[in-house]
Amino acid sequence: MHGATEAILLVGGKGTRLRPVTVHTPKPMVPAAGVPFLTHQLARARAAGIEHIVLATSYLAEVFEPHFGDGSSLGLHLEYVTEDEPLGTGGAIRNVAPLLRSDPSDPVLIFNGDILTGLDIPALVATHESSSADVSLHLTQVEDPRAYGLVPTDSTGRVTAFLEKPQTPEEIVTDQINAGAYVFRRSVIDTIPTGRPVSVERETFPDLLASGAHLQGMVDSTYWLDLGTPQAFVRGSADLVLGRAPSPAVPGRCGDRLVLPTARVAPDAKLTGGTVVGEGATVGAGARIEGSTILSGAVIEPGATITDSLVGADSVIGARTILAGAVIGDGARVGADNELRAGARVWCNAVLPDACVRFSSDQ
Ligand code: GDD
Ligand code: MG
């Protein structure tokens, strides 16, 4: 058989990296470029020939199915599996194996749910098939690999080690990291132990290497972003709008801005850098918004200046307020004439009075 037709999408875990985001929705469902983030991954997989995807989840599973249903609106057949307790990445993969229909020798695509990438999925599958690997991994190069899985390879691309989140400088042997997309030969999935948590990064990959299995790396330096922080999320959404991150699911043409149909933007407001204005949101006169995501129903009052920020659903940003690198939770009210910069986060439904925070010096 050529190509892959099935995939597993990992969208569970303890969610520790989700909690600091002050928007209510779990991150995979927060709109990026106007649609729930997961839509981009699903649409890219579909465009690469995947027909059946199992979502492996362990938290808030009930939000995925009501939205995506059986997947037919995306031309997919979607199924959902919820773990009682998080089973880890490997445990989650093994747990959904009974739903796969692939033959033992068939390739199955597996991907982390928090990655935005332009990965050439058919090329990864082709690499897998031409190298007769047991598992093939998409690798990307980053400046600081410490927060990732390090994957050194030999001159043929064969993986020589897998070092998840290296702790010592000696362990930093490469700038190639696991980009969170794999092709597994189906029979390899069936060898993962059942009934207990398993980390594919800390257990399955090292064990496979120790037993002489063939893990093949494919370095693809296409667009890649881990959306683990709200700042990265905002960046990713803007890059989708700008067309830097390719996705068939961006509603409308790529460009400097994306204004959803029911949003209202004053004629002299300036929207740039991949800014998204969500459904029913309002942008007042003279506001300037750059590289930011304004979620549905938010109100941006006249003269506000917003850069690289996430503005939660139904929140209000007061007149002349400045946001730069800020995250405003759903339903929060930031009064007029405030200034919030550099990672400031306002909790959901919190209220900041007028003129109470600023960063600039006395004038
Ligand atoms: N179903 C399920 N159950 N999914 C899980 C579980 C679980 O118990 N634990 C984690 N996941 C999912 C997460 O939702 C995410 O989509 C993916 O597996 C990876 O988990 P993260 O918690 O986001 O891991 P990470 O970002 O620290 O590291 C991973 O991604 C890096 C690239 O961004 C690793 O795979 C690294 O090796 C990799 O470099
Ligand atoms: Mg992650």
Within 186-255, strands assigned E span 215-219, 224-226
With a cut of 80, say whether residue 246 has pLDDT above it: yes
Total number of domains constituting the chain: 2
Query: Is there a single domain that holds both residue 62 and residue 187?
Result: yes
Which SS3 state, helix, strand or coil, does residue 160 take?
coil
In the 8-state DSSP scheme, what is residue 159? B
For this structure, is 27 an active site residue? Answer: no
Which SS3 state, helix, strand or coil, does residue 171 take?
helix
Q: Among all chains, which residue has been given the structure tokens 């800390």?
A: 202
Q: How many CB atoms lie within 10 A of CB 355?
A: 14
Q: pLDDT, tens digit, for every residue of 112-139? A: 999 999 999 999 999 999 999 999 999 9
For CA atoms 160, 161, 162, 163, give the dihedral sign: negative
Pocket of ligand 1 (CB under 6 A): 10-13, 56-58, 83, 86-89, 92, 112-115, 148-149, 164, 177-178, 180, 201, 226, 228
Count Cβ atoms within 10 A of the Cβ of residue 308 and give its class: 0-12 exposed, 13-18 middle, 19 or more buried.
Answer: buried
Query: Is there a single domain that holds both residue 176 and residue 112?
Result: yes
Residues in the 5 Å CB sphere of ion ligand 2: 114, 228
What value does the mean pLDDT of the chain take?
93
Q: 355 or 15, which is more confident?
A: 355
Query: Is there a single domain that holds both residue 261 and residue 184?
Result: no
Mean pLDDT of 38-44: 96
The pLDDT score that the predictor gives to residue 229 is 84
Query: Is there a single domain that holds both residue 200 and residue 81?
Result: yes
Ligand 2 centroid vs 209 CA: distance in angstroms? 23
Mutation probe of ligand 1 site: the residue of 38, 114, 142, 223 with most atoms within 8 A of C-beta = 114
Q: pLDDT, tens digit, for every residue of 65-108? A: 989 999 999 999 999 999 999 999 999 999 999 999 999 999 99
The pLDDT score that the predictor gives to residue 26 is 62
Query: Is there a single domain that holds both residue 207 and residue 337?
Result: no
Percentage above 70 pLDDT, the chain: 95
The pLDDT score that the predictor gives to residue 14 is 66
Q: Which residues contact residue 47 at a Cβ distance below 8 angstroms, ignoring those fewer than 6 apart?
A: 248
Query: Is there a single domain that holds both residue 218 and residue 301?
Result: no
| Domain boundary pick from 226, 242, 277 | 226
Query: What Å distances lie between residue 236 and 40, 145, 223, 276, CA to CA?
Result: 11, 19, 10, 11
Helix or strand run (H / E) with residue 55: strand 52-57
d(CA 346, CA 356): 13
Domain enclosing residue 188, as ranges: 6-226
Mutation probe of ligand 1 site: the residue of 55, 87, 94, 112 with most atoms within 8 A of C-beta = 112
d(CA 139, CA 224): 10
d(CA 249, CA 352): 36
Residue 268: which CATH number?
2.160.10.10
Query: Is there a single domain that holds both residue 193 and residue 273?
Result: no
Query: Is there a single domain that holds both residue 59 and residue 189?
Result: yes
In the 8-state DSSP scheme, what is residue 9? E
With a cut of 80, say whether residue 6 has pLDDT above it: yes
Main-chain phi, psi angles of 238, to 5 degrees: -65, -40
Query: Is there a single domain that holds both residue 282 and residue 182?
Result: no
Query: Is there a single domain that holds both residue 167 and residue 278?
Result: no
In a domain, 183, yes or no: yes
Top-ranked range on mean pLDDT: pick from 11-20, 219-228, 286-295: 286-295
With a cut of 90, say whether residue 253 has pLDDT above it: no
Query: Is there a single domain that holds both residue 10 and residue 154?
Result: yes
- Specify the pTM: 0.93
In a domain, 95, yes or no: yes
Mean pLDDT of 327-356: 95
Tell me the ligand closest to 16's alpha carbon: 1
Ligand 1 centroid vs 112 CA: distance in angstroms? 6
With b for 16 or more beta-carbon neighbours within 10 A and e for fewer, the 36-57 pattern comes to bbbbbbbbbbbebebebbbbbb
Query: Is there a single domain that holds both residue 185 and residue 275?
Result: no
